[in-house]
Amino acid sequence: MNVPWITEQQVRERVSILDAIESVTRSITREVDGTARNIPKTMTTWEPASSAHALGAYDEGAGLVAFKTWVNTPAGASALMTLFDATTGTPRAVLEAGALGALRTAAVSGLATRLMSAPDASEFALIGSGRQALGQVAAVCAVRPITRVRVWSRSENSRTGFAATVRENLGIDAVAAPTLAEAVDGAPIVTLITRATEPFLPRGLLSPGTHLNAVGAILPSNAEFDPALLADADLAVVDSIANARRSSRELTEYYGEDWTPVKTLGDLLTGAVVRPLHPVLTIFKGLGMGLADLAVAATVLESTNREGVLA
């Protein structure tokens, strides 16, 4: 069986962040009408600081079924996605999925920011400067008129270097903030993209009207913000309720068994829930879902087929 292999470089070349946001939007809309479904995420962890994950999805509109598996260890990480034809069951392609996963995570943050933040927001605070950070900046800048980015991470060298990377790669003014408090003070949009194991963003630090994307802590033992922060949220949204209940320490500690207040991106896309006109705080907690991975992979596959790369 000759199954096409799509590399990380091909993924980067064939999908823009705006393409990814639009593809994720379409797939989540189909999830709401019942023609697309997530296959729940499963995972395990072991020492030292290692984890293995698997998730998937079915999307009738794309005609695809997808499964993604990945492993993170202190020595490195790798991810693969397999696409199958939803009608015939035959494999369509295997994708190296590291870049794809980062693009998916950024696209979902971009969609949440589009739906939940102030439309005229022009400043943005990014907390974290790891390998997914630049994609997060690109996603927010794709949906809001951002003119200045504030960067904070624990290492002064890292935050200073990353601010320079933003300026060089995205052409946007970026500054390294000396403290977390100075980074988020007055910022209308804040994104957390860290591997923190304990909450570092306390209640009371964010300014009124802030939209918070919390997308770094995806293990049940990890957390980025104090769960008490949810008491201030006029709107709390996740990508997948099932995955959030399984893996979000912040939401589980705050909501316990009653998750009635928690909404989904699908609720916002269909108008079942709307952003308050003048919210004190809106929070998006992203844990990852197979449907978003499938959406971006389908766009990659369409592009490569169109250009004859897989012929």
For 115-153, the pLDDT digits (tens) are 999 999 999 999 999 989 999 999 999 999 999 999 999
Residues of the chain with pLDDT under 70: 307-311
CATH 3.40.50.720 at 116-288, yes or no: yes
Dump the DSSP string for 143-212.
HS---EEEEE-S-HHHHHHHHHHHHHHH--EEEE-SSHHHHHTT-SEEEE----SS--B-TT-SPTTEEE
- Residue 117: name the closest of 271, 268, 270 by CA: 268
Domain edges within the chain:
5-101+291-306, 116-288
Which residues lie closer than 8 Å to 109 by C-beta, 6 or more apart? 136, 139, 140, 191, 213, 215, 284, 286
What top-level class would CATH report for the domain 5-101+291-306? Answer: alpha beta
pLDDT at 305: 81
pLDDT at 311: 41
pLDDT at 211: 98
pLDDT at 41: 87
